[in-house]
């Protein structure tokens, strides 16, 4: 499930990069095309790096908010590449418990990530008006 979310995020970021506007007025003035393309490419790389950093911080924040029993299973399975059996032995719980905790942890992460994404996009769309009366 996490892999699907990562793939979906990568496709979205590629789509966003393709959608970025290119300044055509500079080309009409006879300015070097290569320098303009390099500048645009650098700006997109910086934007992608920033977006990636924000997403990593969001995922880390959500992971930190999970209850310990779910966080431990997620970290052991995805970060340490431990098998269900190895995790069960480390935590002294049955394999079925590991499987259910992992499933619940993924559901919690998914809900939290979706909420975070929705909140972030709604915040970006809000226009604050300074109305003085």
Is residue 73 within 8 Å of 81, Cβ to Cβ? Answer: no
Structural domain contains residue 67: yes
Confidence label for 32 from pLDDT (cuts 50, 70 and 90): low
Structural domain contains residue 24: no
Confidence label for 54 from pLDDT (cuts 50, 70 and 90): confident
* CATH code of 54's domain: 1.10.10.10
Domain extent at residue 77: 31-122
- State the total domains in the chain: 1
Structural domain contains residue 96: yes
DSSP category for residue 92: T
Structural domain contains residue 62: yes
Structural domain contains residue 130: no
- Token pair recorded at residue 52: 């990636």
Structural domain contains residue 97: yes
The residues, ordered by sequence, that sit 6+ positions from 21 with a Cβ below 8 Å of its Cβ are none
Structural domain contains residue 110: yes
Confidence label for 56 from pLDDT (cuts 50, 70 and 90): confident
Q: What is the pLDDT of residue 5?
A: 64
Structural domain contains residue 45: yes
Say what the alpha-carbon torsion angle 56, 79, 109, 106 is, to the nearest 10 degrees. 150
């Amino acid at each position: 499930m996490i892999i699907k979310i990562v793939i979906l995020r990568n496709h979205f970021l590629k789509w966003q990069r393709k959608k970025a506007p290119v300044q055509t007025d500079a080309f009409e003035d006879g300015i070097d095309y290569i320098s303009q393309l390099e500048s645009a490419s650098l700006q997109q790389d910086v934007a992608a790096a920033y977006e990636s950093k924000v997403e990593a911080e969001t995922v880390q924040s959500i992971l930190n908010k999970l209850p310990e029993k779910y966080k431990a299973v997620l970290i052991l399975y995805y970060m340490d590449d431990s098998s269900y059996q190895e995790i069960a032995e480390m935590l002294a719980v049955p394999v079925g418990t590991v499987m259910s905790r992992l499933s619940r942890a993924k559901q919690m992460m998914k809900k939290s990530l979706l909420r975070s994404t929705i909140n972030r996009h709604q915040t970006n769309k809000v226009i604050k008006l300074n109305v003085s009366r």
